[in-house]
Amino acid sequence: MAHLKDFRGIENTNFFTLNSGLQTLLADLLKPDDRAEVFASLQECGELAGGRWNELARLGSQTEQLPKILKLDRVGNPIERIEFSPYTSQLRREVAEFGLLTQTKNELHKFAFIYLLAHNGEASLTCPISCTDGLVRVLEAKGTETLQATYLPHLRSTETPFAGAQFVTERTGGSDVGSIEMQARHNGDGSWLLTGEKWFCSNPDEFFAVAARPVGAQPGTTGLALFFVPRRLPDGRLNRISFRRLKNKLGTQSLPTAELAFEGATGYLIGEADEGFKTLMNYVLNASRIHNAVNACGILHRAFLEARNYTRQREAFGQPIGAFPLVQESLVTLLARSWRTRTLTFRLIALVDHYGLVPEAPEQALWQRFLVNLAKYRTAVILAESVKDAILHFGGNGIVEDFSILPRLLRDAMIIETWEGPHNTLCLQILRDGARSGLFDRWRSEVGHVLALWPSDFLSVTRQRYATAFEQVCTMLTRKDFAKPAWAERNARRFTDYLGGLLELGWMVEIAVKRHNTDATAAVLAAVACTELFPDENAFAHPLFDMVGEHAQALIDKTPFQLDVTNF
């Protein structure tokens, strides 16, 4: 492509067909009897996500199509609702009709579906899916028979597609959930009256899970209860909720995020009043963090695809820029990040399929909570940087809003980082959990299992670096400094990065060992990931860089190849 007029985007391609890494991972994680059905569904989804749904997402993100608050109807009657663009409404309806919440076979199938949708950014779709999924889960687990019978059909309906939400944050605090001030007063008829404000209410559509403090309850998280609050009451009257304004956000702009006032709104208790925080975390926020991680993985892969496509076509100094070594190394690094974060996230999802979102066994529940927090942090923390790296391949064209999706993905990436727990909060929770349980023993066992399966003559340099990093962490766990809260808090993120990096790399190697006789892709990308996660003191000594240069095109094109990886 000597001239930009000849450039062709990746629109109308199949995002599932383009993702051999996802196919490899799912083939290992799915039950053999489920693979054909799930792959056929994802093939159809990938075509829609890359075609029609991509275009609806693009149109719905235009400034003139962004959502707005409607306070009154045309004759002055209060209606208090959000008006979505026709493109956003159509996109939500079509995805709901495809059966995301009603026809997917298992959690791996559902989240692979969401992963493909996330290739188009949030698009006022993936957050509503997350919120609705969490509300469905909590009603199924803790809702009364009346709530389940009345509202679960609506939450799964294509007439009100993905209309659920969760409202927790107030002006007094976000991550500090115990500072919530919204009050709930028992109404005497089984319902409650909620009074107060919520500061950050995404997808304020029809059905809400709201955290509030019953009058007289204890301070902090122990005094919180969780309530189901519909926008309209069963008799059709508007609930007493007032829309203040929509947030003017950096990203996810087609998704409405409002400030709401509850003025004696009617709500219905979900579960026990003194277990509201536990219920919220187990069924809503933990599910939402998995959604967040899957979204990050999808956005990262789309960024790679966009950068690859542009560098294949754009010429400079007489050749495609994708032929330059620094461009190739950057693309391979993006691909390695995509593999390792996706592997961590979908290994977690496979556990949810096997044990449920809230396992009965305490040890398994703690392990999954650790992986939820880890996956949310590890996928989000590299996302904005990775999308920016993809943009830089485009030069000036990368910052032009109507040239590619990447500027919108970069803004959405920043929201992915801030939602569902900031980095520091998640890392500190991981350390607190580990300090009072056997969590780190389980982690040691998992990494030790990887080393036991890892032949000494397979990726030998990478294995040595991996074993050294593992030994460093194990030594740190025995130091007295680790028991000091101040020291642990200062080093929480560095420590969590080691915990996550060793799991991600180890689980990539498991794939590589299984497949290296037919394809060296996973092995080489694991070695590339290791150089980023655990860099050598001599950055120029590793033979990997010369090897990547020789096979970069096969890696970037996702073409299987064979290679002796003994000494990498």
pLDDT in tens, 66-92: 999 999 999 999 999 999 999 999 999
The two three-digit tokens of residue 320, written as one number: 């495609």
Q: Please give the C-alpha separations between residue 250 and each of 51, 163, 253, 288, 302, in angstroms, as whole numbers.
A: 26, 23, 7, 20, 20
pLDDT of res. 2: 58
pLDDT of res. 175: 83
pLDDT band at 1 (very low <50, low <70, confident <90, very high): low
Q: Give me the mean pLDDT over the 310-323 stretch.
A: 94
pLDDT of res. 181: 96
pLDDT of res. 488: 82
Cα 221 to Cα 279: distance, rounded to the nearest angstrom: 11
pLDDT(547) > 80? no
pLDDT of res. 4: 81
Helical segments of 454-567, H only: 460-478, 485-490, 492-515, 521-533, 544-557
**Which amino acid would we find at residue 151?**
Y
pLDDT(267) > 70? yes
Give the length of the chain. 568
pLDDT of res. 122: 98
For helices 20-29 and 32-50, give the axis angle rounded to 10 degrees.
150
Residues of the chain with CATH 2.40.110.20: 164-277
Which residues, other chains included, contact 480 with Cβ-Cβ below 8 Å and sequence gap of 6+? Answer: none
CB–CB of 240/265 below 8 Å? yes
pLDDT(478) > 90? no
Q: Which residue has the tokens 């996928």?
A: 379
Q: What is the pLDDT of residues 285-314, one digit of tens each?
A: 999 999 999 999 999 999 999 999 999 999
Cα 63 to Cα 71: distance, rounded to the nearest angstrom: 21
CB–CB of 552/328 below 8 Å? yes
The two three-digit tokens of residue 416, written as one number: 């992915």
Would you say the pTM of this structure is higher than 0.85?
Answer: yes
pLDDT of res. 127: 98
pLDDT band at 542 (very low <50, low <70, confident <90, very high): low
pLDDT of res. 173: 82
CB–CB of 447/470 below 8 Å? yes
Q: Give me the mean pLDDT over the 148-168 stretch.
A: 97
- Other Cβ atoms within 10 Å of 278 Cβ, number: 16
pLDDT of res. 541: 67
Q: Please give the C-alpha separations between residue 96 and each of 75, 100, 154, 160, in angstroms, as whole numbers.
A: 33, 6, 12, 9
Which CATH code fits 164-277?
2.40.110.20
pLDDT(516) > 70? yes
CA distance between the termini of the chain: 36
**Which amino acid would we find at residue 498?**
Y
Longest dimension (CA), the chain: 79
- Other Cβ atoms within 10 Å of 410 Cβ, number: 24
Q: Give me the mean pLDDT over the 510-521 stretch.
A: 95
The two three-digit tokens of residue 58, written as one number: 């693009």
Q: Give me the mean pLDDT over the 248-257 stretch.
A: 98
Is 413 in a helix, a strand, or coil?
helix
pLDDT of res. 3: 72
Q: Please give the C-alpha separations between residue 526 and each of 440, 471, 502, 522, 548, in angstroms, as whole numbers.
A: 23, 19, 11, 6, 12
pLDDT band at 487 (very low <50, low <70, confident <90, very high): confident
- Nearest-Å Rg of the Cα atoms of the chain is 24
pLDDT of res. 307: 98
